[in-house]
Chain A
Amino acid sequence: MPSVKVPPVLRQHTGGATEVEAAGSNIGEVLGALVAEYPETKEQLFSTEGELNRFVNIYLNDEDVRVLDGLDTAVAESDTVMILPAMAGGAS
């Protein structure tokens, strides 16, 4: 099953897990399975219209799915899907 790497901001919604498994043959299905398992991740990932939020990047292995086929990008069993939101921590 593909694994999904969970960024710090979402870990509170995955019980602290940094990596979870989610079934699916494309990015949309994998993220759908993630949201079904951890419903509170939905707000960070998807807009109310069901589109992927622009401020969250989804990577399949080391490539941004925006340059692949977006949510339709095929995912193999051994692939890693990474959720990458922007972070701003640094100074304060």
Chain B
Amino acid sequence: MAPEATEQFTVKEITPQEAFAELQEGKAKLIDTREPHEHAEARIEGSRLIPPALIADQIAGSAAKTDRVILQCRSGARSAAAAEVLMSLGYEDVVSMAGGILEWEAQGLPTASDSGLTPEQRDRYSRHTLLPEVGVEGQVKLLEAKVLLLGAGGLGAPTALYLAAAGIGKIGIVDDDVVDASNLQRQVIHNTSRVGQPKSSSARQTIEELNPDVEVVEYNFRLDADNILDVIEDYDIIVDGADNFPTRYLLNDASVRLKKPVVSASILSFDGQISTFVPYEGPCYRCLYPTPPPPELAPSCSANGVLGVMAGLMGMLQANEVMKLVLGIGEPLVGRLLLYDALGTRFTELKVRRDPECPICGPNAPEMPRSEMGKFPDYEAFCGGYTGS
């Protein structure tokens, strides 16, 4: 807080436009009376930072008593108080900029920033940047992150919505399906008017309306051994919400080879499972499930039903894992399998260890030259019996 002035002074105000004109002419000195983190996030070019508590002590280093001094803060309150302090110290020509930097920005006047965030982004992501664990730096990481979603279905739909809202800079969506009315009970990124449209383009429309910062890339085809490496290579993190085992194993094998973390969840009826597979740091999907079950013992959601909110719950847990991985905070579900029982509202956590015999990430897994990647040892064999669901 600024020291209290002993006598009353009438503080003159000028508009941001007037301040801009004076600064352009080089006639005035501009003092930013905010805190250092505010100054770093966005400031008027050429302003000198003197926090409110230090204004009386530090002003002499920035302006003489005869100088024209413009004081500016966020909205105009702190600068008016500081102007009174300066007048009480004998400064002759002091004004406060009305409306502060908020009004300056609202008038479309230019600001500088250490963060690389635009004024719109600072506003949009302010609830993130207020968190010390995220901050402006973390938000910049999110905006630079590239996340691939396998499936824009039950799990992918809520995950994509929240990752887009969070400002993940690039979201790839792999889905070769079209929106069906029976999807809408849980796939909240689509809507009734989009029935019949490709899911990837429906998801893209919703994301673009939600957040223009996000670049959406559509992959309107099914991943196979020939194309998977090219698709996943461009991404930092992959979110697996695939509806079939061949894709889950294929993704695992490819992501281990390219060392891409995979956040993997699945849902059935009232039950969900989730784990985060970070290659060589923790187990991979094959360490947990060495082989897929035969088709007759592997029911799918379409055959067995799923409570719609299960998709949202497990999708949110996936999005949360992605956020932690991008920001480098917290404790991702590496080496842990989290089970959720919606009827009992119970979470159970199981340990998952790296399998020393794992044919993909184990110490004896065969080395493969890049040209051989995508040709997995048993993929064709166990995929023969599947058509996907």
Contacts and interface: CB of A to CB of B under 8 A. Distances in A.
B289 A8 contact: no
Contacts of B350: 59, 62-64, 82, 84
B171 interface: no
Contacts, number: 115
B163 to A, nearest CB: 16
A81 B348 CA distance: 12
A91 B289 contact: no
Contacts of A57: 288-289
B169 interface: no
A43 B218 CA distance: 41
Contacts of A8: 268-271, 299, 304
Nearest to B288: A57
B306 A91 contact: no
A68 B244 CA distance: 30
Interface string A68-92: 0000000000000010111111111
B106 interface: no
Given A8-B269, A59-B350, A86-B245, A92 B154 contact: yes
Interface residues on A, range: 20 to 34
Interface residues of B, number: 52
Given A8-B268, A62-B349, A90 B297 contact: no
A44 B299 CA distance: 12
Nearest to A66: B355
A14 B361 CA distance: 36
Interface string B292-327: 111001111110101000000000000000000000
Interface string A4-34: 0001110000000010000000000000000
Interface of B: 150-156, 175, 177, 240-245, 248, 265-271, 273, 288-294, 297-302, 304, 306, 337, 339, 341, 343-344, 348-353, 355, 389
